[in-house]
């Protein structure tokens, strides 16, 4: 096992911040931790649960300038606005790295790939920090993840007695960690990997069983509580809906400039589904919340492969009216069990 002391880690991070853009968990006050750019290791917090927001904004910014149109007299020019330089997301939790798999499936792995997302993805190195436990609301183990899952990272650090066990996962991770000071564990000290306390597994219905529950009253009852505040979609590492807007930047006698902006959108918003002419095909809150969950567990896996949920638990924590995805998953599974019993009785 490769091992790094905390002092070696901070020395390495100080070195990295001089060369690259480093994003890491940062205490921003009043008990809130966010992934934020840091300029040295003293700005990083190492004592954190899951940051309040996922890291998706560093690959899919909430507001992004995509291109600029310039019209001079009869000449129209279009400029693609380029992405930033290489970046490291240090201390990312395994569930947040897992969230990028869902974004990749749409923005990178479909033709045509989204140039901005793909370029940023290519230029991003993910150095994860294993969670010492599963916190309240976490259910990564129910949706294919784990608190120490290295699968979607370039390298993973696991806190152990006296420092961190280091696991490189990809060539990118190996190249990055080549500049760090590792120690082979030969001193007989106890560096065994910790046992991570796990939360109970939540039943998740397979994608093909969801359509049988589409017309249940449950969704409308759930919708009665929803405030359409959109918090659950904005904090989610896998929600990825966006809106495109052309914003006027400058205009004069011979020059008109517009920029095309991409901004996050949310399917829980009242007007999300409104089209030209004013028709809204999802006017009820119950329809919108149902869509949010069907997108995650039925439509998205069916159309693109991965589930649209990595079990980070943020939407459980943030919802002001306690709409709880764990409760929803248990309810839908109970409905399926009832349906199975009814179908078995019919067959008899
Ligand atoms: S956070 Fe809760 S109240 Fe707000 S949109 Fe989501 S489900 Fe509705
Ligand atoms: S739906 Fe909720 S639990 Fe699942 S990834 Fe999004 S915020 Fe996390």
For 185-326, strand residue ranges (E) read 242-251, 255-264
Q: Ligand 2 center to residue 191 CA distance, Å? A: 33
Which is the closest atom of ligand 1 to the Cα of 322?
2
- Ligand 1 atom, smallest distance to 230 CA: 5
pLDDT reported for residue 252? 85
DSSP 326: H
Cβ atoms of residues 34 and 52 within 8 Å: yes
From residue 167, alpha-carbon distances to 2, 128, 151, 173, 236 in Å are 7, 10, 11, 9, 27
**247: helix, strand or coil:** strand
- Is 64's pLDDT higher than 90? yes
User: Does residue 190 surpass a pLDDT of 70?
Assistant: no
Give per-residue pLDDT as tens, 129-157.
999 999 999 999 999 999 999 999 999 99
- pLDDT value at position 2? 85
pLDDT of res. 186? 54
Domain count, the chain: 1
Pocket test residue of 311, 323, 332 for ligand 2, highest count of atoms within 8 A of CB: 311
> Residue 246 — very low, low, confident or very high, per pLDDT cuts 50/70/90?
very high
Question: Would you say the CB of residue 169 lies under 6 angstroms from ligand 2?
Answer: no
Rounded to the nearest angstrom, the gap between the alpha carbon of residue 21 and the centroid of all alpha carbons in its chain is: 20
Q: Do the Cβ atoms of 264 and 62 come closer than 8 Å? A: yes
Task: Return the pLDDT at 198.
Answer: 92
In the predicted model, is pLDDT for residue 191 greater than 70?
no
The arithmetic mean of pLDDT across residues 183-204, rounded, is 77
Q: Domain residues for 236? A: 2-347
Cα–Cα distance, 126 to 49 (Å, whole number): 18
Is 0.95 surpassed by the pTM of this model? no
pLDDT digits (tens, 9 = 90+) for 65-121: 999 999 988 899 998 877 678 999 999 999 999 999 999 999 999 999 999 999 999
Q: Whose CA is nearest to atom 8 of ligand 1?
A: 226
Distance, CA 268 to ligand 1 centroid (Å)? 7
CB 309 near ligand 2, within 6 Å: yes
Going by alpha carbons, the residue nearest to atom 4 of ligand 2 is 309
For the segment 268-278, the average pLDDT, to the nearest whole number, is: 94
Backbone angles phi, psi at 342, to 5 degrees: -60, -45
Could you report the per-residue pLDDT of 279-306, keeping only the tens digit for each? Answer: 999 999 999 999 999 999 999 999 999 9
Residue having the nearest C-alpha atom to atom 5 of ligand 2:
309
Whose Cα sits closest to atom 2 in ligand 2?
315
Tell me the average pLDDT across 235-243.
97
Nearest CA among 5, 43, 49 for reference residue 27? 43
> How far from 164 is each of 58, 229, 284, CA to CA, in Å?
25, 40, 49
Question: Between β-strands 87-92 and 21-29, what pairing exists: parallel, antiparallel or unpaired?
Answer: parallel
Is a pLDDT exceeding 60 seen at residue 188?
no
pLDDT digits (tens, 9 = 90+) for 11-21: 999 999 999 99
Mean pLDDT of the chain: 94
| Separation of CA 285 and ligand 2 centre (Å) | 19
pLDDT band at 189 (very low <50, low <70, confident <90, very high): low
The alpha carbon of 310 and the centre of ligand 2 are apart by a number of angstroms equal to 6
Tell me what the mean pLDDT of segment 33-49 comes to.
Answer: 97
């Amino acid at each position: 096992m490769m091992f790094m002391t905390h002092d070696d880690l901070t020395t390495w991070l100080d070195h990295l911040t001089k060369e690259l853009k480093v994003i890491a968990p940062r205490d921003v006050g009043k008990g809130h931790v966010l992934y934020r750019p840091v300029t040295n290791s003293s700005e990083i917090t190492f004592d954190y649960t899951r940051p309040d927001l996922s890291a998706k904004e560093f690959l899919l910014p909430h507001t992004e300038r995509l291109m600029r149109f310039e019209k001079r007299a009869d000449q129209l020019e279009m400029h693609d606005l380029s992405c930033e330089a290489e970046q490291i997301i240090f201390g990312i939790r395994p569930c947040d790295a897992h969230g990028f798999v869902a974004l990749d499936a749409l923005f990178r792995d479909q033709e045509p790939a989204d140039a901005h997302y793909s370029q940023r993805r290519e230029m991003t190195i993910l150095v994860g920090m294993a969670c010492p436990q599963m916190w309240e609301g976490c259910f990564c183990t129910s949706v294919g993840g784990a608190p120490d899952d290295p699968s979607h990272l370039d390298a993973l650090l696991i806190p152990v007695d006296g420092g961190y066990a280091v696991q490189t996962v990809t060539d990118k991770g190996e190249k990055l960690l080549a500049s760090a000071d590792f120690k082979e564990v030969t001193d007989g000290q106890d560096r065994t990997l910790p046992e991570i306390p796990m939360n109970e597994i939540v039943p998740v219905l397979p994608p093909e069983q969801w359509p049988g529950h589409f017309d249940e009253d449950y969704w409308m009852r759930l919708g009665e509580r929803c405030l359409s505040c959109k918090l659950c979609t904005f904090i989610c590492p896998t929600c990825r809906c966006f809106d495109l807007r052309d914003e006027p930047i400058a205009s004069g006698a011979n020059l008109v400039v517009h920029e095309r902006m991409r901004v996050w959108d949310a399917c829980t918003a009242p007007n999300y589904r409104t089209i030209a002419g004013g028709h809204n095909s999802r006017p009820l809150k119950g329809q919108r919340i149902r869509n949010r969950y069907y997108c995650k567990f039925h439509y998205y896996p069916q159309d693109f492969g991965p589930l649209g949920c990595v079990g980070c638990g943020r939407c459980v924590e943030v919802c002001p009216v306690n709409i709880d995805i764990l409760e929803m998953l248990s309810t839908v599974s109970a409905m399926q069990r009832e349906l199975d019993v009814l179908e078995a009785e019919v067959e008899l």
